[in-house]
Structure formats: C-alpha cells, structure tokens
Amino acid sequence: MSIAVPLYGFGASGGSPNKSTIIVTAPTGSTVACTMGSTMKTAPEKNGVWTFGGLDLGTWTITSTKGGDSATQDVVISRLTVEYVTIVYRITPEFTYTGDYEIVDDSDNAISDFANWKSNWKIRFLTSGTFTVTKLNGWNGQLDVFLVGGAGTPTAGASGVWYVSYGGDTATLHNVSVLAGESYNIAIGAHGSANEQGGATTAFGTTCSGGSAGGRDAHNNIPNRVKEFAGDTDSDALYGGYYPAVNVNAPDNSGSGVVSDNSQSWPFGGSGIVIARNARRAA
Amino acid sequence: MAKSMALIESGTVVNMLWCSDSEPETDTIINPADRPVGIGDIYSNGKFYRDGVEILTPLEEALKKNAEYEAALSEIEEALGV
C-alpha cells in the first residue's frame, strides 16, 4: 500500500528542495534499496523504516530482501511528493503435491493467487499423493489438519427398508510441524465397493479408519456428520456420518455413508479427505 | 475425476486408496478397475481373490454365468437327444 502526500512547493522530509521522498516500512533486518535506471539510493534502517530522499521524477523500484524472502515494488513519482510503501513478504508456502488438491479460503472459495494471499488458507487434499513444502516463505511451518476416512458402501437394500453404511472416522490435529524439503505421504481412503468397508485415510502420522458397510437400519447408530476443525471455520461442508438422501451417492471427499432401499443396486459412500490449514492456535 | 486403487502388502489388500485418474500402477498400488475389491482380499498373479474365488468385473461375471447356462443347456439337450 502506498499513500501519496502532495507537497506543493515544499521540500520533502527535509531532503533536497524540489525532490521527492519514499518512506519504506519493511520487516526489520531487511536490506532495502531504491533504484531508477543506474541510479541507486541507499538509506539506513531506523526501526524497520527506510527513508529515501532526493528522488527525481520517474519510476523508482523498491527492492527488499531478508534471508530467502524478497519483494519488489515500483513507485511512480510524477510530482513533488512523499510516498509511503509497506513491504510484506510472501506469507504462504510454496509446495508440490502429486495428487489432486485445491487451495481455498476459510469459506471454501478458491484462492487463485496463492503467492500474494495475505490471509488464512486451507489445502484440500482430494486424492492420495506426496506433499512437499519447497519453501516456507513467511509461514511458520505449522498446520492444523482434519482427516476423514472413506465411507463404507451398503449392500442393495429392500423397498421401504434402509440399508445404511457408516461414514469414515474423523480426526483433528493442531500445530503439526512441517519441514521444508521433507516429503509427507497422504493416503485418502476410497469409498467401499458394494457391501464393503471404506479405505483408511492417513496423513502426518494419524490414521482415520474407513466406515463399515453397515446394514439394515444402521443409521440409528451412526453419528451425525460433522464440520471440519470442529466447526472452527466458515465452511458449512459436512463430513462423515451418513448422507441423508435415499439411493444417492455421497459426494466425493465427504467420507459420508449412504442409504439404500433399492433391491437392485446401491449408492456409493463418499471418499475421504485431508484438509490442512495454516495453524490458528499458538504453539 | 478419481478412482479407487488397491494398496497391496504381502499379497493382501490392506487399504483402498482414492487416487487421481492419472495415478499409475506400481508393484503395490493396483487398479482393480470395476472389480468390487475390498480390504482383506488376496492379490496373486494379477488377479484378486476372495475366499479362494476370483473377483470378476460385472461384465466378466455376466459372461461367466452365460457360459455356465449354455453348458447346462447343452447337457440337457444332450440328455434329451435334441
């Protein structure tokens, strides 16, 4: 963010008359420079603030680095002015995942520009794979993780009689430490075949069993579906338990069991999921 | 899209994994295609078994039953001298 303060006819911040000034706020300990063409201005840090004075009109480039973090911002000086620039390094990790995944905000809206995202985030691991953080950037390497096992699938039911399968088990982990360069295998449990248990979901040292195939009127014993992270997000999605629609497949990655009252066929339970988010509690 | 794949350890299906459509087969992760494979089934020489009986796809199962019906019909026709 920058704020232009016009200084009509006055010198800026005690610098040269008729010259402009850029005041940069960046994480303390950064190396900050201000350049235009072959001209480079330097300034000492004063408690996380760098003041570059005596700047001619034109486009100045602010570069800031600290350790492995860096940021660049152009500032256009078109009149005598003081410009304020705040540098925030990337706070989201860079990673690879060999399976399918999506990056979303707390309401499950897709994040299209993760590199410049400055708020909370979640990674929804949809299929099995290997997760590797290649660069932590400004992230502290701490995850909260929610796991759901794959749901079972019932046998064919009977008209008017519910055959219901169980959803996968769920678990929530807080402050899981992730190291850059280390690979973490994530197994997403599949839904069961007809009259079969679902697969187990495993990630970050924790396993959630798949739901069983259940049986006649099993829904009387099946726990309700739950929200991720015990409801501690803005997401309304529900997991585990059983999907309360008759003869309908449960959504993929819901880990929810299903209801069959059809003697000829059966719906399939939902596959499991792993959801990881930047940790929200102090370690 | 995604698919179920069987995780094999020591010749036994130990888990059913939900995998990307592009996930390749390996020595330990096998695509059972339409076969209704479950945890605890046996995997040997490229085939899945439960209680000693090979697990077939629905199409293979239908073809097998059709062949059995035809064989039985032939026996009846032979017995009747048709």
Q: Which residues of A touch B15 (CB under 8 A)?
A: 187, 189, 199-200
Q: How confident is the model at residue A15 (pLDDT cuts 50, 70, 90)?
A: low
Q: What is the pLDDT of residues B30-73, one digit of tens each?
A: 999 989 999 999 999 999 999 999 999 988 988 988 999 999 99
pLDDT score for A123? 98
Q: How confident is the model at residue A239 (pLDDT cuts 50, 70, 90)?
A: very high
Contact B5 A190 (CB under 8 A): yes
Q: How confident is the model at residue A137 (pLDDT cuts 50, 70, 90)?
A: confident
Rounded mean pLDDT, A136-141: 90
Highest mean pLDDT among A61-75, A161-175, A258-272 belongs to A161-175
pLDDT at residue A170 is higher than 80: yes
pLDDT at residue A5 is higher than 90: no
Q: Which pairs with CB-CB distance under 8 Å and at least 24 residues apart come from B58-66?
A: B58/B34, B59/B34
Please count the residue pairs, one from chain A and one from chain B, whose beta carbons lie less than 8 angstroms apart.
72
Rounded mean pLDDT, A134-157: 93
pLDDT score for B50? 96
pLDDT at residue A16 is higher than 90: no
Q: How far is CA B75 from CA A69, B61, B64, B65, in A?
A: 81, 21, 17, 15
**Count of H-run helices and E-run strands, chain A:** 0, 22
Contact A190 B16 (CB under 8 A): yes
Rounded mean pLDDT, A28-45: 96
On average, the pLDDT of chain A sits at 91
A136/B24 Cα distance (integer angstroms): 30
pLDDT score for A198? 98
B4/A274 Cα distance (integer angstroms): 16
Q: Which comes out higher in pLDDT, residue B30 or A138?
A: B30
Contact, A187 vs A203, CB < 8 A?
Answer: yes
Q: How confident is the model at residue A266 (pLDDT cuts 50, 70, 90)?
A: confident
Q: Nearest-CA residue of chain B relative to A193?
A: B36
Chain B neighbours among A 130-189 (CB < 8 Å)?
Answer: 150, 187-189
DSSP A245-274: EET-PPPTTS--EEEE--SS--------EE
A6/A19 Cα distance (integer angstroms): 12
Calculate Rg over the CA atoms of chain A: 27
pTM: 0.82
Contact B23 A99 (CB under 8 A): yes
Interface-testing mutation among A271, A273, A274, with chain B (most B C-beta atoms within 10 A): A271
pLDDT at residue A214 is higher than 90: yes
Residue B33 at interface with chain A, using a CB cutoff of 8 Å: no
Among the listed residues A98, A103, A144, the one whose alpha carbon sits nearest the alpha carbon of residue A122: A103
Rounded mean pLDDT, A188-198: 96
Contact B20 A127 (CB under 8 A): yes
pLDDT at residue A10 is higher than 80: no
| Lowest mean pLDDT, pick from A35-39, A118-122, A216-220 | A216-220
Instruction: Tokens 């794959």: give the residue.
Output: A150
The ipTM estimated for the assembled molecules is 0.85
Among the listed residues A49, A20, A19, A16, the one whose alpha carbon sits nearest the alpha carbon of residue A32: A49
Calculate Rg over the CA atoms of chain B: 17
Q: Where are the beta strands (DSSP E) in A37-169?
A: 39-41, 49-55, 58-66, 69-77, 81-86, 94-97, 101-104, 122-125, 129-135, 142-148, 163-164
Contact, A24 vs A49, CB < 8 A?
Answer: yes
Contact, A250 vs A268, CB < 8 A?
Answer: yes
Burial A200-235 (b: 16+ CB within 10 A, else e): bbbbbeeebbbbbbbbeebbeebeebbbbbeebbeb
pLDDT at residue A215 is higher than 70: yes
Instruction: Tokens 């295998």: give the residue.
Output: A185
Among the listed residues A232, A231, A246, A239, the one whose alpha carbon sits nearest the alpha carbon of residue A201: A239
A67/A136 Cα distance (integer angstroms): 12
DSSP 8-state secondary structure symbol assigned to residue A196: B
Q: Which comes out higher in pLDDT, residue A5 or B68?
A: B68
